[in-house]
Homo-oligomer: A and B are copies of this chain.
């Protein structure tokens, strides 16, 4: 063989602040990165356009946008236009929760990682400044990892695929600081759940509020365009 193989990673890329930082970390760690985005009928379509621009800029080894029919299933403010995106704090798990979203995304990533013989999957979830979604918690990720260790031919024949969550215990400010050090241009990222077609953020939804607070706490200028 002789040649030095660069280890491969599948990186989930939504076009938001977290996943873009996560990609920068994966690249800085030395992985050859394969980007994966999902067109799941999300209300904030501009997020997906942003992901595509960021993927191009990052010079990924490959990049796929997989259509997944979550509007067919419904049940979330992000995939059902009849449910409004809340613009103030709410109790419990918010209506922007999309049923089984991270499980569907990670399942696809697992399949692609296996085909690529990739060693890891990077997902930019975090459990501090987040919306309380059940599938963003460390115990969920650990359980997905345990399942993945039994699910694939690659795992059964010797090498399991590792799910990496480098942001999981960081605050939003820490994420922004880390990404800024790595040269992430946050003006290209879209976090707002109801961004307009030009990518301008509402400034009111939970995702906007967490992002704003992050820039404030990081003591960095917020490059977000607001309506």
Contacts and interface: CB of A to CB of B under 8 A. Distances in A.
Contacts of A156: 93, 134
A107 B115 contact: no
A84 B172 CA distance: 49
Contact of A67 (B69, B115, B137): B69
Given A134-B150, A146-B146, 19 more contacts: A66-B69, A67-B67, A73-B115, A75-B111, A98-B111, A99-B115, A99-B153, A103-B107, A103-B110, A103-B111, A103-B148, A106-B107, A134-B152, A134-B155, A135-B151, A135-B152, A139-B150, A140-B150, A144-B151
Give the dominant DSSP class at A's interface: helix
A1 interface: no
Given A93-B156, A157-B93, A110 B99 contact: yes
Given A100-B108, A108-B104, A115 B147 contact: no
B75 A99 contact: no
A98 B152 CA distance: 9
Interface string A80-115: 000000000000110001111111101110111011
A182 interface: no
